[in-house]
Amino acid sequence: MSRKNWTDEKLFFRLVNNKSDKTYWDNIRTLRSRANANNFNTCVKQIKSSKPKERIIGIDILAQLGLTPRPFFKESRKLFFDILKKEKDPKVLLSVLYAIGHNNEKLKSDEIALLVSFKDNANEGVRDGLVSALLSVDNKLAIDTLIHLTNDKASHIRDWATFGIGTQIERDNKIIREALWSRVDDKHQDTKLEAIVGLAKRKDLRIKEVIKRELLDGEFGKLIFESIEELNDKDFLPLLKDNLKKAKKDKGIKPDWIKDLIDCITQLEKN
């Protein structure tokens, strides 16, 4: 029998009792598609469980229960912040922070204050979840916290936090630019590229020489194309065309990367 024909009770049973996590997200997604009061109430019961695994199941379903506008949005978000006030298990905290990230529209000042209290948490997963919870939140305290996390020792946290201040918000000021510049030479490639894109979006012309450096190096990702298109500067054309010549001779380069390079050249030439 197909999973979509399983009863809600069977799906919850499988989530709680399966020894393997292989079908975990398949079962979660199926229950998320069934936004009825019974499933919401079952999730609430799961969240009140003494077992972290069951609390996580309830949170993961409520994170995206139903289509937007979600029918239990207000009730779910209140539950998430109630959990944050008392939860100690790092895996549960990670789950609830990601859930808030899916539901972080118009956060209140006290909710943001509660979130940022986790910025120096010893657990890497909790800090990662915090970045998710704050993405796209255009609030000074939230932005200051993301800036703080752009200096995290974990590269994936620096990456997402840099993406958060560089691309996910429109705000532009000296502090944000300085934070992005501090990551332009990051040893982690994705973090570096997110910083470059963020500065290009803000039309910071100082980033032009950094982009040229990346083009000369030849080991750049697709985000460089986005940065160039943001600046819309034909000065990049010679270096782009030189890279295209080299790429066509290199069988190890992926065709979609070459296509993006060609598209970038075409975009510049038409403007």
Question: What would the CATH number be for the domain defined by 104-204?
Answer: 1.25.10.10
Instruction: Give mean pLDDT, residues 209-232.
Output: 94
Q: Per the omega criterion (within 30 degrees of 0), is the bond before 255 cis?
A: no
pLDDT of residue 210: 97
pLDDT exceeds 90 at position 219: no
Instruction: Give mean pLDDT, residues 243-258.
Output: 94
Question: For residue range 116-162, what is the model confidence (pLDDT) as tens digits?
Answer: 999 999 999 999 999 999 999 999 999 999 999 999 999 999 999 99
| Cβ burial 43-74 (10 Å sphere, 16+ → b, else e) | beebbeeeebebbbbbbbbbbbbbeeebebee
Q: Which of 225, 201, 95 is nearest to 211 (CA)?
A: 225
CA separation for the pair 176, 198 (Å, rounded): 9
Question: What would the CATH number be for the domain defined by 1-103?
Answer: 1.25.10.10
Output the average pLDDT for the chain.
Answer: 97
Question: Which part of the chain is CATH 1.25.10.10?
Answer: 1-103, 104-204
Instruction: Give mean pLDDT, residues 176-190.
Output: 97
Question: For residue range 191-206, what is the model confidence (pLDDT) as tens digits?
Answer: 999 999 999 999 999 9
Question: For residue range 61-88, what is the model confidence (pLDDT) as tens digits?
Answer: 999 999 999 999 999 999 999 999 999 9
